């Protein structure tokens, strides 16, 4: 059975650059009827951020990446917070001590700095294993415990990076247990992955250079290596840097608050650095699970492109309406309407949504794009006079044109999209104006917005009274 894990450190929010280490383990586990574990790596107490675990859970839940074992859901390999597993690490550490593969290291940090300096001066690499204390004391928690490495070469296969090898020069006596009794990441993840039966260790490529040291520890503990999967960085929009919080990498849930749909976010991030070899761009979660494969994960960095994410979100907005109806999209729009929408009925809001949704990039576009449906826009005659299609017409002509429209629409008995379109067509013939001229005038007079949905639909939703009242007000003002 395939067992994967997502093992974040609760040091803040999950941002775009690191959530792929959750998505790919999820897809692989689901594809193979396996298990995904969520483990919180909170042994670095200095970097611990209160509330970060909840942010992580919230992000995964929003994206629909449910875990089979871990916080909230429990499981038979708990606890799932490393800070609660101290005894387990100490037990495993004692196994290494018993076989002579770990030693207590009372050397004070200043002394270690001195060794490092000596090496720098002699221009030789600093390897702590060359300075091992001769007679280490018996280990007691409170003293750092180090691995006693055997320098040698390693070969291994990384499922994304391919065949790898390393020489003895990269191996050192790394710290297993720190002075405060907590394990280092280097040791804790090995113990946990073994205890939890993890078959695929998927994580950022930043851990690749330490892998030989991990291989040495697996060997010393007599553990079978799990499959190792290094996920390349997501690159910042420009340059060759990895996308990090300092480059403005937003938290994943900030996009939710900005009106990005979870489907689009998951789709975009999964396809950032992975493709199935076809031209397909829009994938449901089920399709991602079906089509995902590790051997098609790109081994070089993938560039983050917010424009593409927003394009994909627009595609998803339309897809939801096409497949599930406008009510399904409406049910996700709660926080995104302009304040003035609150005084209108749900039925009216759904009507507005049904004619505007195909122009939305994010749900929060609703706030600006629909304001004129809920309250009369401020009249700005300059917007009419300076419009590129209207600026040749004298104001008197604009006024008489508006009056003709008003007369026509006043006499219209059936106020529906088809009758309105027919009336607009008649008006075109009667006034001898181009569609761009006549329709721009009416559109601006009704909305004073840069664009609106098709005019007949806009008038249909606004209703006869509002439409005529707005046209009259503009005719008076011009
Ligand atoms: N706790 C590590 C981090 O947040 C995870 C590395 C891993 O997945 O093993 O970077």
Pocket test for ligand 1, best of 198, 200, 204, 227 (most atoms within 8 A of CB): 204
Work out the average pLDDT over 335-350.
97
What average pLDDT does the chain have?
A: 96
Specify the 3-state DSSP secondary structure of 130. Answer: helix
Q: Cβ neighbours of residue 272 under 8 Å, at least 6 residues apart? A: 20, 234, 302, 304
Nearest ligand 1 atom to the CA of 5 is 8
Nearest ligand 1 atom to the CA of 202 is 8
pLDDT at 396: 94
302-303 and 234-235 as β-strands: parallel, antiparallel, unpaired?
A: parallel
Q: What percent of the chain lies above the pLDDT cut of 70? A: 100
- Model confidence over 66-113: pLDDT tens digits? 999 999 999 999 999 999 999 999 999 999 999 999 999 999 999 999
Compute, in angstroms, the gap from residue 9 CA to the centroid of ligand 1.
Answer: 6
Compute, in angstroms, the gap from residue 24 CA to the centroid of ligand 1.
Answer: 14
Pick from 84, 83, 104, 82: nearest CA to 93: 104
Among 5-19, 136-150, 422-436, the range scoring the smallest mean pLDDT is 5-19
Specify the 3-state DSSP secondary structure of 116. Answer: helix
- pTM for this prediction: 0.93
Q: How far apart are CA 270 and CA 20, in angstroms?
A: 7
Neighbours of 68 (CB within 10 A): 15
Compute, in angstroms, the gap from residue 398 CA to the centroid of ligand 1.
Answer: 66
pLDDT at 61: 97
pLDDT at 18: 85
Compute, in angstroms, the gap from residue 59 CA to the centroid of ligand 1.
Answer: 16
Specify the 3-state DSSP secondary structure of 309. Answer: helix
E strand or H helix at 227: strand 227-231
Residue 340, pLDDT > 80, answer: yes
The pocket around ligand 1, CB under 6 angstroms, is made up of 7-9, 21, 41, 185, 189, 203
For helices 455-462 and 417-431, the axis angle rounded to 10 degrees is 120
pLDDT at 153: 98
Residue 15: band (very low, low, confident or very high) from pLDDT cuts 50, 70, 90: confident
Q: How far apart are CA 402 and CA 262, in angstroms?
A: 45
> In the chain, what is the greatest distance between 2 CA atoms, to the nearest angstrom?
104
Active site residues: 245
- Model confidence over 277-297: pLDDT tens digits? 999 999 999 999 999 999 999
Tell me how long the chain is.
478
pLDDT at 246: 79
pLDDT at 250: 87
- Domains (ranges, CATH) in the chain? 85-231 (3.40.50.620), 252-368 (1.10.1160.10), 376-477 (1.10.10.350)
pLDDT at 316: 98
Question: What is the Cα 260 distance to its own chain's centre?
Answer: 10
Residue 239, pLDDT > 90, answer: no
Q: How far apart are CA 129 and CA 126, in angstroms?
A: 9
Evaluate whether 188 touches 43 at the Cβ level (below 8 Å).
yes
Residue 30, pLDDT > 90, answer: yes
φ, ψ of residue 230 to 5 degrees: the values are -100, 125
pLDDT at 244: 84
Q: Cβ neighbours of residue 207 under 8 Å, at least 6 residues apart? A: 230
pLDDT at 247: 78
Both tokens of 371, joined, read 């304001």
- Model confidence over 299-320: pLDDT tens digits? 999 999 999 999 999 999 999 9
Residue 238: band (very low, low, confident or very high) from pLDDT cuts 50, 70, 90: confident
Evaluate whether 104 touches 143 at the Cβ level (below 8 Å).
yes
pLDDT at 2: 98
pLDDT at 451: 85
227-231 and 200-204 as β-strands: parallel, antiparallel, unpaired?
A: parallel
Both tokens of 247, joined, read 């480059």
Specify the 3-state DSSP secondary structure of 382. Answer: helix
Neighbours of 259 (CB within 10 A): 21
Work out the average pLDDT over 199-226.
97
Pocket test for ligand 1, best of 189, 199, 202, 245 (most atoms within 8 A of CB): 189
- Identify the burial level of 147 via C-beta atoms within 10 angstroms of its C-beta, where 0-12 means exposed, 13-18 middle and 19 or more buried: buried
- Model confidence over 352-365: pLDDT tens digits? 999 999 999 999 99
- Identify the burial level of 387 via C-beta atoms within 10 angstroms of its C-beta, where 0-12 means exposed, 13-18 middle and 19 or more buried: middle
Residue 248, pLDDT > 80, answer: no
Q: How far apart are CA 473 and CA 153, in angstroms?
A: 84
């Amino acid at each position: 059975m395939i067992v994967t894990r997502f093992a974040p450190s609760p040091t803040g929010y999950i941002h775009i650059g690191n959530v792929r280490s959750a998505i790919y383990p999820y897809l692989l586990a689901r594809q193979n009827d396996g298990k995904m574990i969520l483990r919180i790596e909170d042994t670095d107490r200095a970097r611990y951020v209160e509330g970060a675990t909840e942010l992580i859970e919230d992000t995964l839940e929003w994206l629909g990446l449910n875990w089979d074992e871990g916080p909230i859901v429990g499981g038979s390999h708990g606890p799932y917070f490393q800070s609660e597993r101290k005894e387990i690490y100490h037990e495993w550490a004692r196994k290494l001590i018993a076989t002579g593969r770990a030693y207590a290291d009372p050397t004070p940090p200043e002394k270690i700095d001195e060794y490092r300096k000596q090496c720098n001066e002699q221009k030789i690499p600093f390897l702590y294993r060359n300075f091992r204390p001769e007679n280490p004391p018996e280990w007691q928690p409170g003293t750092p415990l180090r691995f006693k490495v055997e320098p040698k070469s390693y070969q291994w296969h990384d499922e994304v990076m391919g065949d790898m090898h390393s020489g003895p020069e990269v191996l050192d006596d790394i710290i297993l247990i720190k002075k405060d009794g907590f394990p280092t990441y280097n040791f804790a993840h090995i113990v946990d992955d073994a205890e939890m039966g993890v078959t695929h260790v998927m994580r950022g490529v930043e851990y690749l250079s330490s892998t030989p040291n991990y291989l040495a520890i697996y060997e010393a503990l007599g553990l079978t290596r799990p499959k190792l999967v290094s996920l390349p960085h997501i690159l910042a929009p420009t340059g060759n840097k990895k996308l990090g919080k300092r480059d403005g990498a937003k938290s994943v849930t900030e996009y939710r608050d900005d009106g990005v749909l979870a489907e689009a976010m998951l789709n975009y991030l999964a396809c950032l650095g992975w493709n199935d070899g076809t031209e397909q761009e829009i994938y449901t979660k089920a399709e991602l699970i079906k089509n995902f494969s590790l051997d098609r994960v790109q081994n070089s960095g993938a560039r983050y492109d917010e424009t593409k994410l927003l394009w994909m979100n627009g595609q998803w907005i339309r897809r939801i309406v096409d497949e599930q109806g406008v009510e399904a999209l409406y049910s996700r729009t709660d926080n995104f309407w302009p304040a003035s929408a609150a005084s209108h009925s749900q039925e009216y809001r759904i009507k507005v949504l049904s004619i505007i949704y195909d122009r939305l990039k994010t749900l929060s576009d609703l706030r600006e794009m629909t304001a004129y449906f809920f309250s009369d826009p401020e009249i700005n005659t300059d917007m009419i006079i300076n419009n590129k299609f209207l600026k040749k017409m004298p104001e008197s002509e604009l006024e008489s044109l508006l009056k003709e429209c008003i007369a026509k629409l006043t006499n219209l008995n059936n106020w529906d999209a088809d009758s309105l379109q027919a009336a607009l067509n008649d008006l075109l013939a009667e006034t001898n104006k181009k569609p761009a001229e006549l329709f721009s005038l009416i559109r601006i007079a009704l909305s004073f917005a840069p664009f609106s949905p098709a005019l007949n639909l806009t008038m249909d939703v606004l209703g006869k009274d509002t439409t005529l009242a707005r046209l009259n007000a503009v005719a008076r003002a011009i």
